[in-house]
């Protein structure tokens, strides 16, 4: 690849007067249109690239090849559920009927509203809760929305002293962040050596100032929290509500339901569990569900169904704004085209196949864990759910961690890129020094898992024989080791014309 030429910015490829487009005939020629006023007109020219179609096609195709995506290689990024995004989802989302203006009156958007309603009802059934909103844009946004539901509930009862929320030390970083944005104070509860929440440490934290508790299950170590019914009872007895971070719902699909375990409010990540695109900053979707009695606090607008006249067969879908609602969290009905994709996924699996997704994700994670335990440190040695954590290479491969030759998790992650695999999540969760969190998902074939296992073993052998090879990796990627700090502190987002 000639990076010097093909690696140029589109602005650098620009030639004055080159064109890669043609506009349709102006149908309005001859009609008098509204003239823009002087103040609305642009005062200076634009700097836009001018290039022919082939140059544009090559430019963006080459740029996409510089990236790693689930369509190009295996992506075992723990806590992210990077499952395959079926192309059927894209086809359905592109149907012209779904391409509606967001201000289309409800009576002309019945199909879209019906789809929204069917997705919210299906999620409610999967979760064992009463009602969902699909309006939030992401998991973290769902957390904030869910916590606002909890706050609205306490406020509606005049219970204003509940300003604290309990969050386990193993929680995803968005949990304390969302709680802080919601104006809640975070109280951390420790985990036991086996990775689950310490119930004894939880008890003294409970009191009249507790709004609720956030839990993830399976937690971010991929472990099933077995004491949830007991924890939920304790939190409810003190007057708090239970929040379920459903980002890890995948392994539980069709097997067990958060609502049955005692959770009151939860979010789901459609871009994880329900196969919609994930990454590049979105667009995502973080539906929020609540148990019976909390529906009125969900964000506006809500999609509701009315039977038409006395016929049960004819239904009308309407937008409803509840006075007790926490208000708006998004424009219109969230990322609607993402909801269409999730609907396509739900229908293509069907009620009978959804539980298989969860079980296979668990099988795949355990298969990798057991195959690699001879080479990587397994700090929590138990059957995992959809993901698990290694604590770096075993000493006989990675060397003594006091020596400069010691091969770290970062080195392994960089070397994996040379073999065409995305790195696992590294240095998270924070409970271990060299954490490497692996989640294969159910969408990978056994052949892909075997290829990954073989490469992980090979990297361990390389670490023993030639640590420098790993310390200087990656060798075959468009860029080598990036200066992460500089990338954050001095990012360059704009092109300045010379
Ligand atoms: C991904 C994730 C989140 C946040 O979801 P986003 O859609 O990325 O905002 C929250 N909790 C857990 C456990 C997650 O894995």
Tokens read off for 166:
């309990």
The rounded Cα 123 to chain-centroid distance in angstroms is 16
Tokens read off for 13:
């490829």
CA distance 380 to 223: 9
Tokens read off for 258:
């958060």
Q: What is the distance in A from the centroid of ligand 1 to the CA of 249?
A: 11
State if residue 154 touches ligand 1 by the CB under 6 angstroms criterion. no
**pLDDT value at residue 306:** 87
Q: What is the distance in A from the centroid of ligand 1 to the CA of 172?
A: 7
State if residue 440 touches ligand 1 by the CB under 6 angstroms criterion. no
**pLDDT value at residue 397:** 95
Q: What is the distance in A from the centroid of ligand 1 to the CA of 480?
A: 28
Ligand 1, pocket-test mutation among 76, 77, 78, 79, most atoms within 8 A of CB? 79
pLDDT one-digit tens code per residue, 27-49: 888 787 778 888 888 888 888 89
Q: What is the DSSP pairing of strand 425-426 with strand 164-168?
A: unpaired
Q: In the chain, what is the straight-line distance between the N-terminal and C-terminal CA atoms, in Å?
A: 26
Q: What is the DSSP pairing of strand 241-246 with strand 210-216?
A: parallel
pLDDT one-digit tens code per residue, 399-425: 988 888 899 999 999 999 999 999 999
**pLDDT value at residue 479:** 85
- Which residue puts its alpha carbon closest to atom 7 of ligand 1? 139
Residue 488 burial (CB count, 10 A): 8
State if residue 140 touches ligand 1 by the CB under 6 angstroms criterion. yes
Q: What is the distance in A from the centroid of ligand 1 to the CA of 286?
A: 9
Nearest to 150 by CA among 211, 214, 209, 232: 211
What order do you get walking across the sheet with 435-438 strand by strand?
388-391, 435-438, 425-426
State if residue 360 touches ligand 1 by the CB under 6 angstroms criterion. no
State if residue 269 touches ligand 1 by the CB under 6 angstroms criterion. yes
- Which residue puts its alpha carbon closest to atom 14 of ligand 1? 247
Q: Enumerate domains of the chain plus CATH numbers.
A: 1-66 (no CATH), 87-347 (3.40.640.10), 357-489 (3.90.1150.10)
Q: What is the distance in A from the centroid of ligand 1 to the CA of 310?
A: 44
Residue 68 burial (CB count, 10 A): 17
CA distance 91 to 483: 39
The 8 Å CB, 24+ separation contacts for 180-184 are: 181/144, 182/144, 182/147, 182/148, 182/151, 183/151, 184/147, 184/151, 184/211
Question: HSE (CB half, 13 Å, CA atoms) of 266?
Answer: 31
Residue ranges for the chain with pLDDT beneath 70: 1, 279-282, 310-313, 497-498
Regarding pTM above 0.85, the answer is yes
**pLDDT value at residue 337:** 94
Tokens read off for 120:
């919210």
State if residue 89 touches ligand 1 by the CB under 6 angstroms criterion. no
**pLDDT value at residue 162:** 98
């Amino acid at each position: 690849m000639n990076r010097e030429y093909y690696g140029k910015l589109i602005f650098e490829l620009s030639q004055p007067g080159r064109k890669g487009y043609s506009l349709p005939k102006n149908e309005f020629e001859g009609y008098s249109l509204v003239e823009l006023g002087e103040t609305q007109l642009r005062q200076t020219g634009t700097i836009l690239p001018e290039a022919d179609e082939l140059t544009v096609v090559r430019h963006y195709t080459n740029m996409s090849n510089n990236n790693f995506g689930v369509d190009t290689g295996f992506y075992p990024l723990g806590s992210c559920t990077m499952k395959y995004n079926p192309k059927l989802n894209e086809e359905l989302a592109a149907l012209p009927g779904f391409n509606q203006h967001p201000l289309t009156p409800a009576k002309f958007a019945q199909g879209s509203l019906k789809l929204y309603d069917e997705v919210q009802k299906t999620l409610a059934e999967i979760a064992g809760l009463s009602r969902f909103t699909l309006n939030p844009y992401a998991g973290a946004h769902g957390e904030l929305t869910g916590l606002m539901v909890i706050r609205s509930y306490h406020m509606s009862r005049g219970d204003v002293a509940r300003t604290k929320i309990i969050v386990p030390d193993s929680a995803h970083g968005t949990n304390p962040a969302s709680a802080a944005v919601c104006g809640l104070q975070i109280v951390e509860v420790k985990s036991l050596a086996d990775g689950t929440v310490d119930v004894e440490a939880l008890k003294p934290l409970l009191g009249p100032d507790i709004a609720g508790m956030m839990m993830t299950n399976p937690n971010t170590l991929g472990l099933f929290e077995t004491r949830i019914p007991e924890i939920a009872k304790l939190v409810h007895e003190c007057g708090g509500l239970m929040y379920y971070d459903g980002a890890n719902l995948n392994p539980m699909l069709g097997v067990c339901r958060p609502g049955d375990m005692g959770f009151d409010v939860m979010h789901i990540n459609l871009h994880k569990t329900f196969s919609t695109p994930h990454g590049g900053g979105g667009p995502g979707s973080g539906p929020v569900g609540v148990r019976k009695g909390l529906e009125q606090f969900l964000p506006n607008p809500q999609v509701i169904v009315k039977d038409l006249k006395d016929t049960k067969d004819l239904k009308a879908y309407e937008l409803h704004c509840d006075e007790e609602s926490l208000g708006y969290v998004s424009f219109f009905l969230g990322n609607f085209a993402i909801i269409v994709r999730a609907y396509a996924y739900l229908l293509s699996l069907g009620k009978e196949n959804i539980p298989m997704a969860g079980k296979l994700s668990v099988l795949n994670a355990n298969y990798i864990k057991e195959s690699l335990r001879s080479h990587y440190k397994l700090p929590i040695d138990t059957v995992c759910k959809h993901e698990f954590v290694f604590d770096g290479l075993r000493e006989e491969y990675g060397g003594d961690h006091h020596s400069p030759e010691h091969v770290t998790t970062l080195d392994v992650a960089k070397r994996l890129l040379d073999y065409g695999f995305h790195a696992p999540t590294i240095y998270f969760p924070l409970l271990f020094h060299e954490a490497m969190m692996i989640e294969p998902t159910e969408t990978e074939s056994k052949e892909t898992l075997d290829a990954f296992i073989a490469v992980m073993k090979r990297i361990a052998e390389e670490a023993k024989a030639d640590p420098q090879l790993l310390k200087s990796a990656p060798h075959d990627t468009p860029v080598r080791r990036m200066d992460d700090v500089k990338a954050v502190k001095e990012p360059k987002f704009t092109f300045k014309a010379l």
